[in-house]
A and B are shown apart, each in its own frame.
Chain A
Amino acid sequence: MLSNVELKTTDPKHPFGKLTPRMQHYRDKILDAKPYVDAQRAILTTQAYQAHQQEQVDLLRAHVLAHILENMTIYIEPETLLAGNQAQSNRWAPIFPEYSMNWVIDELDQFEKRPGDVFYITEATKTQLREIAPFWKNNTLEDRGYAAFPKASRLFYDLGIIGAAGNITSGDGHIAVDYNNIITKGLKWYETRVLAEKAKLALTDINDQKKLYFYEASLVVIKAVRDFAKRYAQLAETQAKTCSDPAEKQNLLTMAEILHKVPYEPATTFREAVQAVWLTHLILQIESNGHSVSYGRVDQYLNPFYERDLAAGILTADQATELLTNLCLKTLTINKVRSWGHTQFSAGSPLYQNITIGGQTVTGEDAVNPLSYLILNAIAQAHLPQPNLTVRYHKGLSDDFMQACVAVIKEGLGMPAFNNDEIIIPSFMARGVKKADAYNYSAIGCVETAVPGKWGYRCTGMSFINFPRTLLIVMNGGVDPESGEKLLPDYGHFTDMTSYSQLATAWDKSLREMTRQSVIIENSCDLALEQNYPDILCSTLTEDCIGRGKTIKEGGAIYDFISGLQVGIANLADSLAAIKRFVFDEKQLSTTDLWTALQNDFAGPEGETVRQLLLTAPKYGNDDDFVDQLIVDAYAPYIDEIAKYKNTRYGRGPIGGLRYAGTSSISANVGQGHSTLATPDGRHARTPLAEGCSPEHAMDVDGPTAVFKSVSKLNTKEITGGVLLNQKMSPQVLRTPENCEKLIQLIRTFFNALHGYHVQYNIVSKATLLEAQAQPEKHRDLIVRVAGYSAFFVGLSKETQDDIIARTEQAL
């Protein structure tokens, strides 16, 4: 089997094989590239808007993309086998002025001074951006979104209780198109369909007339994509003329030949297919700056090309791997600059460009193929934060493949993450997704899931609701203690409450109101996006936009379910547990003393005494029914309420048009934590909230099985937007092959028996172990495992810790 050949190489230091010197060099250059703010796309966009502002919006948007693709700087680096660049240089971040421009101008002098996610900017760029800024005044998505917010709802947004900065300052993203269709049929297939549908229109009908604009816009972008590929073909030919190295010259000529063909024509070889995928993926991220634009099930659609070329003797496994690493490196060149406010929700300038592998075929067989293994190797070789790799888990996934996955996990990239077919597929089918489509889902971004090419934007990624802050507002009689604003009805102040059920009732009613506000905010953003910012290429490539003559936002997609993110699940759980146990059940603490301590952020010895007591309450993540049931109950009103509110596409074509819950907080837990005062779980004011549905940091002291048990009690089948769980594992635990096998069994149990949705492993780094030595109280959950021994890492002596650190580095 190929897997054995590929994974069991003789070099123990490089079990996945090494990058080719060519890709190694390319990688070094990309990682060394300084991220600059790039004004070029902004200038071209401004020109196109000025030239086409009279057009119907679909045509306006199509001409914008066409103008950019026709005029932007293109280049082919000497190392790459794939052509296509997003900005004037690798890792430069283009500005998308149509979505938001105010923060760009406000932060021009701050980009280089940020505490994290620094972007460089030249004075010339600043001048260029200032010059175009007046055109965009009151003329961006952000301006239109704000204008669309009902006044009362705006307050929730402004105070940061409901976060939607990504929705109002960026395009949508959170989508995968149908690459299988694109590479096997070519864009010309879409063109033919558009022409056929266009020919059927009866233009006396205003609805048909509206479709005409969409079809004409589609034709504009398909031609623009074709011409863009030809620009690269011609550039490759030009570079070939002056290339003295015969092999490199041939490479450029091959590249030219490929780009004269794809993505307009179907691909015939593996390299053509990869080029077609890359260029399309790239253009989608020039069209819009929404993140989480994903590749879908790459092993499924590329493997036929791989096996065909292999059989024909025109490609080797090593060459295929090199192309895949090239794709990974190209993926990393895409960059995005966000406002500082938004950056706190998405730290590390991530684009969440996901590759999904594994899973099942439509008939329920294991879909792992030779290319699944090559992709694992490529990800390990490239060793980059992007793309994100997800493995679709199912019961029939072989141990051999799981072992290959764990080997990559041990590389410490936090990848692959696992999504579970066993819960996601039935959950989709229960919501009306056809079996063939449900079995073909892929991860979008990180944890969320959708059917590539058939699903609208943002299967998750709508608004973020801050649950712990909502609790503080409820406790404070509907007034936000942070701002003093009255936001929710007064169901009584916490200090006047005499029973937990009073608090639970107030929570239920208030959360439902918060949920309604989030819907209003989301709809305001969607309205402004639909009316002004259709993505014509993305819509053209999404079924059944062509059939319906509608963009995705107008209801063009076959499926359209969305979800927001509920942030601070664990903090809410632990807060409720502490209140119930110590205030109402055991009466160790009065409501007034707790409230006072929270208001003072546990200041002084009295405050600290309260905090220490709160920390001894049962904590979510330890398989303790007392606290786990409290969060299940507290989450229920949201799950119930959100299902009532249709999205803006309901009844306009898609199956669904609905909303469900989701917990992939990304880094919103940090941003929203910053605006959250001290909470009853003992968390200090302004410190981060817990991420996703993971336990609060260092509170899960009963090991990974207990965490899985707690998480599995959540109502996962209703939280279809994703149940994000990050687990960390000390390298000491995974030192032997036997223990790696036990990790596989751990994952299998979570997915097979406990119906978990997602898990991702972070192998604890040396830096974290060193930090645990210095601050043991923050790392009391770090486990070590030795025969017949009972303790945690922080309980070891410094010398033993040092020894473990030294030896585990070696073991990895």
Chain B
Amino acid sequence: MTSQTATKGLIFNIQKFSLNDGPGIRTVVFFKGCPLRCQWCANPESQSGRPELMTAAAGTKKITVGTYQTVPEVLTEILKDKAFYDQSGGGVTFSGGEVLAQADFAIALAQAVKGQGIHLACETTGHAPFDVFKAFMPYFDLMYFDCKHWNPQVHLQGTGVTNDLILKNLRQALAANVPLKIRIPIIPDFNYSLDDAKHFGELFQELGVSEVELLPFHQFGLNKYQQLDRPYRLKDTPQLHGEDLLAFQATLAQYQVTAKINSW
């Protein structure tokens, strides 16, 4: 389907020694471009599917975010830490942005990574056409699959898309027994109420999901909006901490869903 050397992907960061994106020590490849516009997005520089300018974190210099890279180029960078993956049971995680927005490149890179015997995970919104997702999912030893809201309309308001495709793909991933970790980013005034927790509980019960991860809302992305000169609607929303999610967690437990709080 794709020729490895001809395909280029738009990548905005390759981050080594990542610790919260799968087992062991990992390198996260951040794909640029996303069909969603989550209001709380902590990587706003990941949203646009084109390279863009951004003010540097320290200073006033403009830097370009996103470069087109070939599979061998990304693979070379990934392989630099192979010794660490081997020792720690770690590997590579594709993140974004949305990996599925560059599915051809992602699959080509996934083939290359798997060809080196490296554990491969991804973090995805699950928002992609059914067939694209179907072709994509077999390459992953682990998928972090976001489930941002149970309600299609609220999902649309918060992210710019409904959860229709997402839930369809979630069902097919579950049916195909892809090792999944479902994550809910808990965002105040979006999905943080105990009523939301109940509905999530019902949804997971129906899907046969018994374990999820909760990611409390954080403001790690705040400065990036300024650096991109872009508005940020949640700039005054306070961060949540692990202890703020205990009631949410308890509510899910009523539906036999064990929620691990993955605090920052």
Whether A and B are associated in the same complex: the answer reads yes
Q: Is B84 an interface residue (CB 8 A)?
A: yes
Question: Given A745-B25, A780-B58, A789-B43, are A796 and B15 also a contact pair (CB < 8 Å)?
Answer: no
In the complex the two chains form, is A623's CB within 8 Å of B17's CB?
no
- A-contact 0/1 string along B222-244, CB 8 Å cutoff: 11100000000000000101000
- B-contact 0/1 string along A732-745, CB 8 Å cutoff: 11010011001001
- How far does the Cβ of B124 sit from chain A's closest Cβ, in whole Å? 10
In the complex the two chains form, is A795's CB within 8 Å of B223's CB?
yes
From DSSP, what is the main secondary structure of chain A's interface residues?
helix
Q: Is A103 an interface residue (CB 8 A)?
A: no
The closest CB in chain B to the CB of A791 belongs to B220
- How far does the Cβ of B46 sit from chain A's closest Cβ, in whole Å? 8
In the complex the two chains form, is B57's CB within 8 Å of A705's CB?
no
| Residues in chain A near residue B13, CB distance under 8 A | 790
The closest CB in chain B to the CB of A745 belongs to B88
| Residues in chain A near residue B212, CB distance under 8 A | none
State A797–B144 Cα separation when bound (angstroms). Answer: 27
State A742–B17 Cα separation when bound (angstroms). Answer: 9
In the complex the two chains form, is B57's CB within 8 Å of A795's CB?
yes
In the complex the two chains form, is A790's CB within 8 Å of B15's CB?
yes
Q: Is B19 an interface residue (CB 8 A)?
A: yes
Comparing A16-24, A508-516, A577-585, A799-807, the segment that makes contact with chain B is: A799-807
| Residues in chain B near residue A800, CB distance under 8 A | 218-220, 222, 239
State A703–B26 Cα separation when bound (angstroms). Answer: 12
Question: Given A703-B16, A796-B222, are A788 and B88 also a contact pair (CB < 8 Å)?
Answer: no
| Residues in chain A near residue B81, CB distance under 8 A | 705-706, 709
State A797–B239 Cα separation when bound (angstroms). Answer: 12
B183-231, CB < 8 A from A? 183, 215, 218-224
In the complex the two chains form, is B58's CB within 8 Å of A794's CB?
yes
| Residues in chain B near residue A803, CB distance under 8 A | 239
In the complex the two chains form, is B57's CB within 8 Å of A776's CB?
yes
In the complex the two chains form, is A742's CB within 8 Å of B43's CB?
no
Q: Is B64 an interface residue (CB 8 A)?
A: no
Q: Which of B13, B18, B89, B222 has the most CB of A within 10 A?
A: B18
Which of A746, A753, A788, A797 has a CB less than 8 Å from the CB of B95?
A: A788
Q: Is A47 an interface residue (CB 8 A)?
A: no
| Residues in chain A near residue B83, CB distance under 8 A | 749, 753-754
| Residues in chain B near residue A626, CB distance under 8 A | none
A753-812, CB < 8 A from B? 753-754, 776-777, 780, 783-792, 794-797, 799-800, 803, 807
In the complex the two chains form, is A786's CB within 8 Å of B15's CB?
no
Q: Is B100 an interface residue (CB 8 A)?
A: no
Q: Is B164 an interface residue (CB 8 A)?
A: no
In the complex the two chains form, is B57's CB within 8 Å of A746's CB?
no
Question: Given A795-B223, A796-B222, A807-B241, are A790 and B43 also a contact pair (CB < 8 Å)?
Answer: yes
Question: Given A702-B16, A795-B223, A795-B224, are A748 and B87 also a contact pair (CB < 8 Å)?
Answer: yes
B9-42, CB < 8 A from A? 12-13, 15-21, 24-25, 28, 30, 42
State A200–B60 Cα separation when bound (angstroms). Answer: 80
In the complex the two chains form, is B220's CB within 8 Å of A746's CB?
no
- How far does the Cβ of A740 sit from chain B's closest Cβ, in whole Å? 10
| Residues in chain B near residue A738, CB distance under 8 A | 19
State A692–B261 Cα separation when bound (angstroms). Answer: 40
Question: Given A777-B58, A791-B224, are A623 and B80 also a contact pair (CB < 8 Å)?
Answer: yes
- How far does the Cβ of B214 sit from chain A's closest Cβ, in whole Å? 11
Which of B19, B57, B88 has a CB less than 8 Å from the CB of A733?
A: B19
**How many of chain A's residues have a CB under 8 angstroms from any CB in B?**
41
Which of A749, A776, A789 has a CB less than 8 Å from the CB of B42?
A: A789
Which of B16, B30, B88 has a CB less than 8 Å from the CB of A706?
A: B16
Q: Is A88 an interface residue (CB 8 A)?
A: no
In the complex the two chains form, is A705's CB within 8 Å of B25's CB?
yes
In the complex the two chains form, is A790's CB within 8 Å of B24's CB?
no
In the complex the two chains form, is B222's CB within 8 Å of A797's CB?
yes
| Residues in chain B near residue A555, CB distance under 8 A | none
| Residues in chain A near residue B218, CB distance under 8 A | 786, 800
The closest CB in chain B to the CB of A624 belongs to B80
Q: Which of A623, A780, A796 has the most CB of B within 10 A?
A: A796
The closest CB in chain B to the CB of A785 belongs to B19
| Residues in chain A near residue B123, CB distance under 8 A | 787-788
Q: Is A752 an interface residue (CB 8 A)?
A: yes
State A38–B32 Cα separation when bound (angstroms). Answer: 66
| Residues in chain B near residue A534, CB distance under 8 A | none
- How far does the Cβ of B252 sit from chain A's closest Cβ, in whole Å? 18
Which of A705, A776, A785, A794 has a CB less than 8 Å from the CB of B20?
A: A785
- How far does the Cβ of B90 sit from chain A's closest Cβ, in whole Å? 8
Which of B17, B21, B58 has a CB less than 8 Å from the CB of A746?
A: B17
Which of A623, A790, A796 has a CB less than 8 Å from the CB of B223?
A: A796
| Residues in chain A near residue B115, CB distance under 8 A | none
- How far does the Cβ of B240 sit from chain A's closest Cβ, in whole Å? 11
State A800–B224 Cα separation when bound (angstroms). Answer: 13
Q: Is B73 an interface residue (CB 8 A)?
A: no
- How far does the Cβ of A409 sit from chain B's closest Cβ, in whole Å? 16
In the complex the two chains form, is A745's CB within 8 Å of B58's CB?
no
Which of B87, B89, B220 has a CB less than 8 Å from the CB of A786?
A: B220
State A787–B213 Cα separation when bound (angstroms). Answer: 11
| Residues in chain A near residue B21, CB distance under 8 A | 787-788
In the complex the two chains form, is A753's CB within 8 Å of B80's CB?
no
Q: Which of A703, A786, A796, A807 has the most CB of B within 10 A?
A: A786
Question: Given A623-B80, A705-B81, are A742 and B220 also a contact pair (CB < 8 Å)?
Answer: no
In the complex the two chains form, is A787's CB within 8 Å of B220's CB?
no
Q: Is A704 an interface residue (CB 8 A)?
A: yes
- A-contact 0/1 string along B39-82, CB 8 Å cutoff: 00011001000000000011100000000000000000000110
State A800–B123 Cα separation when bound (angstroms). Answer: 24
In the complex the two chains form, is B24's CB within 8 Å of A742's CB?
yes
In the complex the two chains form, is A704's CB within 8 Å of B57's CB?
no
Question: Given A702-B16, A776-B57, A776-B58, are A746 and B222 also a contact pair (CB < 8 Å)?
Answer: no
State A61–B90 Cα separation when bound (angstroms). Answer: 59
State A780–B84 Cα separation when bound (angstroms). Answer: 23
| Residues in chain B near residue A703, CB distance under 8 A | 15-17
In the complex the two chains form, is B16's CB within 8 Å of A753's CB?
no
Which of A623, A748, A796 has a CB less than 8 Å from the CB of B220?
A: A796
State A803–B215 Cα separation when bound (angstroms). Answer: 16
| Residues in chain A near residue B90, CB distance under 8 A | 742, 745
- How far does the Cβ of A32 sit from chain B's closest Cβ, in whole Å? 39
- How far does the Cβ of A503 sit from chain B's closest Cβ, in whole Å? 28
The closest CB in chain B to the CB of A746 belongs to B25
State A709–B95 Cα separation when bound (angstroms). Answer: 24
- How far does the Cβ of B224 sit from chain A's closest Cβ, in whole Å? 7
Question: Given A745-B25, A786-B264, are A797 and B16 also a contact pair (CB < 8 Å)?
Answer: no
State A544–B20 Cα separation when bound (angstroms). Answer: 55
- How far does the Cβ of A812 sit from chain B's closest Cβ, in whole Å? 16
In the complex the two chains form, is B223's CB within 8 Å of A786's CB?
no
The closest CB in chain A to the CB of B46 belongs to A790
The closest CB in chain A to the CB of B146 belongs to A788
State A490–B21 Cα separation when bound (angstroms). Answer: 55
Question: Given A787-B262, A794-B57, A797-B222, are A745 and B84 also a contact pair (CB < 8 Å)?
Answer: yes
State A643–B95 Cα separation when bound (angstroms). Answer: 50
- 26 A-B pairs with C-beta separation under 8 A: A623-B80, A703-B16, A703-B17, A704-B17, A706-B80, A709-B80, A739-B19, A742-B24, A745-B87, A746-B17, A777-B59, A780-B57, A783-B17, A786-B20, A786-B42, A786-B220, A787-B20, A787-B215, A788-B43, A789-B43, A790-B95, A791-B57, A791-B220, A796-B219, A800-B218, A807-B241
18 additional contacts (CB under 8 A) given A745-B88, A787-B183: A702-B16, A703-B15, A705-B17, A733-B19, A742-B25, A742-B88, A745-B25, A749-B25, A752-B87, A783-B17, A785-B17, A787-B215, A787-B264, A790-B30, A790-B43, A791-B220, A796-B219, A803-B239
For the complex of A and B, the 7 pairs showing the least CB-CB separation, nearest first, are A745-B88, A795-B57, A776-B58, A703-B17, A753-B83, A749-B87, A797-B222
